[in-house]
Amino acid sequence: MIRKLALSTLLTSSRRSLYTANDVASLYSSLKESKPEQIIKKALETFGKDIAISFSGAEDVLLIEYAAESGLPFRVFSLDTGRLHPETYKYFEDVEKYYKIRIEYMFPQAETVQKLVREKGMFSFYEDGHSECCNIRKVEPLKRQLGTLKAWITGQRKDQSQTRVDLPVVQVDPVFKGVQDLLVKFNPMSEVKSDEVWNTIIERGIPYNNLHAKGFTSIGCEPCTRPILPTQHEREGRWWWEDTKKKECGLHAKHKH
């Protein structure tokens, strides 16, 4: 989707054609103490039509809120794995109407999904781990999308998982390549705590996924997500049958700036 602002602004806002690791290091130095909304505005100003927000259908809606607040054109994409909760699909529609945007949905390759299910069944991940299914339904579609971009914006936070404690606010993506090979990854919510996120959502009256009211914190695919107890960490509702150090789906890894 492209927010309904002057197209000429969108087409001219990306000021450079090539970015280097040194450029990213400079961005990190200038943004590491900045607020999320400032980081997002800078990201949009720098990359224009060549950057997009990754929206999972959860509390990362704040990324869209801050992008809309900036007054700049922005794009949003989401991964439709085919296994999401009905509440999440409804939430996607709510967000589109609230912000008057169109989300760019990415889908897995039908032939690859068909082969997996025919060979291993619908719930093979309970037996041999979630990696194979996530690679097919999430990682490959994300790789296709990011291959068309120079940068992307995520809602990752340090307090979400043991695997994210060193997450910088901006980095060279250590996993994926962009249209010019090097891909810049912005994590503007890196230093924000969960309670701060929710205080902002409630105070501003921002719509949120109804699953949150049912005890879900970290929301993914329906078979791999469940509610948690108040005493549990928010990621404990994801892939609960696996080791806590393996609770990444392959979308995010190796945090370096």
What span, in angstroms and rounded, lies between the C-alpha atoms of 23 and 201? 33
* H runs (alpha helix) in the chain: 7-12, 21-31, 36-47, 61-70, 86-99, 110-120, 125-128, 131-134, 140-146, 194-204
Which residues does residue 153 pair with via DSSP β-bridges, in sequence order? 53, 186
Q: Which residues of 49-81 are buried (b: 16+ CB within 10 A; e: fewer)?
A: bbbbbbbbbbbbbbbbbbbbebebbbbbbbbbb
Positions marked catalytic: 249
- Token readout for 61 is 């809606």
> Which residue type, as a one-letter code, is found at position 220?
G
Q: How many CB atoms lie within 10 A of CB 5?
A: 12
What span, in angstroms and rounded, lies between the C-alpha atoms of 197 and 189? 9
